[in-house]
Amino acid sequence: MTQTARQIEAAIYDRLSRVIDPELGRSVTDLGMIAAINAVPAGDGYDVTVQVELTVEGCPLSETITNQINGAIASYPDATLVPHIEVTSMSHDKLADLVADLKAERKQNPFNKPGVKTRIFAIASGKGGVGKSSVTANLAATFAALGYDTAAIDADIYGFSLPKLFGVHAQPTNLNGMLMPVTAWGVKLISIGMFAGADRAILWRGPRLQRSLEQFLSDVWWGEPDVLLLDLAPGTGDMAISVAQALPNAELVVVTTPQPSASDVAVRSGLVALQVPMKVRGVVENMSWYEHKGERLEIFGAGGGRRVSEQLTDALGYDVPLMAQLPLEPELRETGEAGRPAVLDKDGALRSDGIGREFRTLAEKLMR
C-alpha cells in the first residue's frame, strides 16, 4: 500500500523517538528538539525535511545528533527518502521551559531517591600521595570501557586532579543554570578545576565545601548512570562527612600503599563508617611492587593492604576484603599526565594486559 506523506512523517517521528541526546540521555522527541517534519513527494520517493532545534547554539554534539537522525530516516524501509536536516537552536523561552521541566523532575540530589540503581563508590585514602586520584580515574575509565554508563565527581576540592588525568580543558555547558558534565574517555566528569583553573588555590571553609558537593549532585544533569565514583580528599575531613550525609548509599573504597606509615592512616579513613551511614566495600593496595627484569621488587614494603583489610574487618564487624594489589608502573603516571587513563590504549579500548587486566578484575569485583 502506498504511504501518504502524513503517514511517513508520523513513522519518521516514531523512529526519531529512539534517537538519544548524548548529553541529556533523553530522546530528541521527548526534549522537544524536533520542531517539524515535512515529507514532499519527489520522483519515486519523498524529500524529507527535519527541523532540529538544539539546546545550545553551536552544540559540539550537533554532528553526532544529525548523523543519528539521518541514520534513523535512512533505515525507513517502505519508501525512498532523501533527508534534509535543518539545524537551529531553541528559543530562550523554550529552553527555559525545558530546563524547568528537567529540574522539576529531578528536584534535588538524584542519587538519594528511593529505587535509584546507580552504584556509588567513594574512593578514599588516609593521606595524600598514595595514588587515590589515579585509581579513581583508571577505575572510572575501566567501567566506561566495560559498557557501564559512568560518572565521576572530583570531590577533592583543594587537590583536584581528575581534569588533568582525563585531559579535560573545557568547561561544562550551562543550560540556563543546569550544567552538562564534560565527557572524556567515556566518563561524565565534573570538577571545581573546570571552573577555577588548574593553577588556582581554593580557600574554602567547611560549609562552602558541603555546598559545592550539593551543587555537583543537584545542579549537574547526570542522567541515570550505572556507576558514580567520587574522588575524595585525603583524610576524614568535611568532604568525607558531606559525602556520607548526601550519599548514604555510597560504598567506601580505601586506597593505601604497602608501608605502615600509609596503612595505619588509611585505617582511619575506613573507620569513618563507624560514625556515618556508609559501608566500606574494600581495600586497594597501590604501588604494591615494581617489576624489574621479571623480579617483583617491593619498594615500599609489603602487607599494608592486608593490614588495613584485617583491621577494618575487626573494627566494623563485617568482611572488608583486599580487592586489588596494583603494581607501581611508570606508565600510569606518564599517560595520566598526558591526559589518558593508563588502562586504555590510544583508541580508548581497555587494555587486556598488565594494568588493564588488574583494573578490569577490580571493577568486576566491585559490581558483584
pLDDT by position in tens, the chain (length 368): 367 888 888 888 888 888 888 777 778 888 888 888 888 888 777 888 888 888 877 676 788 888 888 888 877 776 677 778 888 888 888 888 888 777 766 656 677 777 788 999 999 887 778 888 999 999 999 999 999 999 999 888 777 889 999 998 888 887 777 788 899 999 999 988 787 655 554 444 455 655 677 778 878 888 889 999 999 888 766 667 777 777 888 899 999 999 887 888 888 888 877 777 788 999 999 998 888 887 888 888 888 899 999 999 999 999 999 999 998 887 777 777 788 999 999 888 999 888 899 999 999 999 98
Q: How far apart are CA 343 and CA 301, in angstroms?
A: 25
Q: Please check if 25 is assigned to a binding site.
A: no
Q: List 291's β-bridge partners, or say none.
A: 296
Q: Is 129 annotated as a binding residue?
A: yes
Structure confidence by residue, pLDDT tens digits, 33-50: 888 888 888 877 788 888
Report whether 127 belongs to an annotated binding site: yes
Beta bridge partners of 150: 187, 227
Please indicate if the annotation marks 133 as binding a ligand.
yes
304-316 and 260-271 helices cross at what angle (nearest 10)? 30
**359: which 3 cell numbers?**
583494573
Which DSSP helix (H) or strand (E) runs through 245? helix 238-246
Residue 282 annotated as part of some ligand binding site: no
Instruction: Provide the strand spans (E) within the chain.
Output: 34-42, 45-54, 80-89, 119-125, 150-155, 173-175, 178-180, 182-184, 187-191, 227-232, 251-256, 279-285, 290-292, 295-297, 322-325
Please spell the DSSP secondary structure of 115-165, one letter per residue: T---EEEEEEESSTTS-HHHHHHHHHHHHHHTT--EEEEEE-STT--HHHH
Structural domains of the chain in order of their starting residue, each with its CATH number:
5-90 (3.30.300.130), 110-367 (3.40.50.300)
Residue 354's Cβ-count burial label (10 Å; 0-12, 13-18, 19+) is middle
Nearest CA to 232 among 304, 162, 335, 306? 162
243 is in an annotated binding site: no
Whether the Cβ atoms of residue 228 and residue 176 lie closer than 8 Å to each other = no
Q: What's residue 187's pLDDT? A: 95
Is 164 annotated among the ligand-binding residues? no
DSSP secondary structure code for residue 298 in this structure: -
